[in-house]
Amino acid sequence: MKSDVLSSEFVSSEKITSDYINYAPHLKAMFPRHFREPSLRKCKVGHRGLVDKLLKYNKSIGAPLRVIQNIESLLQPEIYAVITGQQPGLLSGPLYTVYKAISTLAICERLSTQKYSLVPIFWNASEDHDFSEVSYIKLFKENKVYAIHYDDVAKDVALSHLNLDKSQMIKILTIIESISPDSEFKMGLMLKIKEILGKSSTIGDFFSRFMTFLFGEFGLIMIEPYYFRDLMAPIFARMIKTPTKCTKILNEAGLQLKRLGYSPRIHKKSNMCNFFLLDDDGKRLQITYNGKFQSANETFSQAELLDLLDEDPSRFSANAATRPITQDFLFPTFAYVAGPNEIAYQAQLKGLYDFFSLEMPVIFPRFGATVVERKVVKVLEKYSVTIYELQNPAKLLKELAKKKIENTFGSFKSEISGNISELIQQAKTIDEGLIESCLLAKGRILKTIDILEDKIAAKLKKQNLLVKQQITKAHNHLLPNNQLQEREINVLEYLMKFGKRFLRTVYERFLDADYGEHKVIKC
């Protein structure tokens, strides 16, 4: 396999992410550490209670020995964590989730030294409640993007509490089997997924088990936050005692970003608290504060909410802004691996870390990838086109059609221009006033030739269906739905074709990539 790189401008238009990656000095107030010059944060070593919970959870989802060893190592002072995370998508969701995990593994491998070692952790953000965002899987069916959906489910229920409908999943797997080509890996992969499905109980649980199947052999530790909420209680207690302080900090950071010319990602109403309460059905209830704490249908005093936290910490859930705080309160985090949009989000969190007396970890941009299969490589090479040109297939098809006649028209136009130039010289000897008429005539003639060229090219475009089919196929595979492949297609597409060695290939490419690079992997 060979690889190349897509430009950062092509991959993301997020200005603050680009500036951060390029180590812009004016962002140091938001990001006190940088991946170009990483440093260890002051933090406590993983304690026995945390390690025991990690062991129990990861053993329950079938983690292999390497994961168990990594968890045990967190008790040692020279061991730090590299963490990434994502909400639990169906069968891992789009490829970028897998690439975040592989980025974390690669960073651990690259930066571990004799003085300290790094272990990889994936935060399964099953506190999230918007399953509609991730309740589908997209694969290719006859070179077109095909979406397979999990039916609508209860709204606002945390995915850690959302029971997995196994009959729906069996239907989804049956569709996947029917639309995907046969391969030496397909049957074994589908049997393994069905085995995992049989052991899973919730959406969050299924995700963790599937990710462990993919990356357990690499040593990736999985965590679901609901399992650790009693250990997070001091963070929630601080938010209860200072109800809107975090909101004020976030909004002030947003104003600072605006002054620097950026668009802040986090906007909070002044009475919003930065945690949720879960009801008996697992629904996440937003909390506001106006002298009293108010959920959808309950009112609490500060004392009542603190008592509830003491009695049942599992009722409390962090929001997107405070989730990193709970993460770095629990773990000796060296780095967090973030996608382009997450980096923009992280830019507003420095003040929160200060408020909770924590040091912010280094933010590493994840690696990305676009997979170019052999059949697509052949199309790109046949027509000498790039992924960038595939952004506009209609324009590309017209240009390819023009190439068939451009040499003829080019020489023809050159000959016409030469002849008219001679005519101008002759006219000049007769009367210089004729020059303007000659130039006007030249412009009209060349414009007429251009129009004729466009008409012929348009006709060729319509006639050449094979070219259109092949360019469309390449576009669909590399920029499905006009998006980066990693934002649309699921990893099963390539696991069925190449087996789990696909993950190893991506891992090897990421090992020698620059941070934040988007690799083009030909296979």
In a domain, 276, yes or no: no
For the cut 50, the answer to whether the pLDDT of residue 277 exceeds it is yes
* Mean pLDDT (whole number) for 103-128: 94
Burial class from Cβ neighbours inside 10 Å (0-12, 13-18, 19+) for residue 250 reads buried
Q: How far is CA 374 from CA 10, 440, 482, in A?
A: 23, 51, 21
In a domain, 509, yes or no: yes
In a domain, 159, yes or no: yes
By C-alpha distance, which of 23, 38, 32 is closest to 351? 32
Count of structural domains within the chain: 2
Q: DSSP characters for 174-225?
A: HHHHHHSPP-TTHHHHHHHHHHHHHH--BHHHHHHHHHHHHHGGGTPEEE-G
21, 54: one domain: yes
453, 358: one domain: no
466, 335: one domain: no
Report pLDDT for 422.
77
The interaxial angle of helices 186-199 and 203-215, nearest 10 deg, is 140
16, 99: one domain: yes
Q: How far is CA 200 from CA 61, 196, 277, in A?
A: 8, 6, 25
Report pLDDT for 133.
77
352, 397: one domain: no
343, 457: one domain: no
In a domain, 292, yes or no: no
Give dist(CA 98, CA 95) in Å, integer: 5
205, 123: one domain: yes
* Mean pLDDT (whole number) for 214-226: 97
In a domain, 518, yes or no: yes
474, 327: one domain: no
Tokens of 360: 């912010």
* Mean pLDDT (whole number) for 162-186: 95
* Average pLDDT over the chain, rounded to an integer: 92
Q: Report residue 1's pLDDT band, with 50, 70 and 90 as the boundaries.
A: very low
Give dist(CA 105, CA 339) in Å, integer: 15
Give dist(CA 451, CA 441) in Å, integer: 15
CB 22 within 8 A of CB 189: no
In a domain, 250, yes or no: no
Tokens of 501: 């060695």
Question: Among all chains, which residue has been given the structure tokens 């010289």?
Answer: 425
Report pLDDT for 210.
98
84, 222: one domain: yes
Report pLDDT for 129.
82
Residue, of 1 and 91, whose pLDDT is higher: 91
Give dist(CA 117, CA 64) in Å, integer: 20
348, 425: one domain: no
In a domain, 306, yes or no: no
335, 473: one domain: no
In a domain, 90, yes or no: yes
* Mean pLDDT (whole number) for 304-316: 96
pLDDT digits (tens, 9 = 90+) for 363-419: 999 999 999 999 999 999 999 999 999 999 999 988 887 776 655 556 666 777 777
- Structural domain span for residue 420: 388-478
Helix (H, G, I), strand (E, B) or coil at 434: helix
353, 208: one domain: yes
pLDDT digits (tens, 9 = 90+) for 412-465: 667 777 777 777 777 777 777 777 887 888 788 878 878 887 887 777 666 678
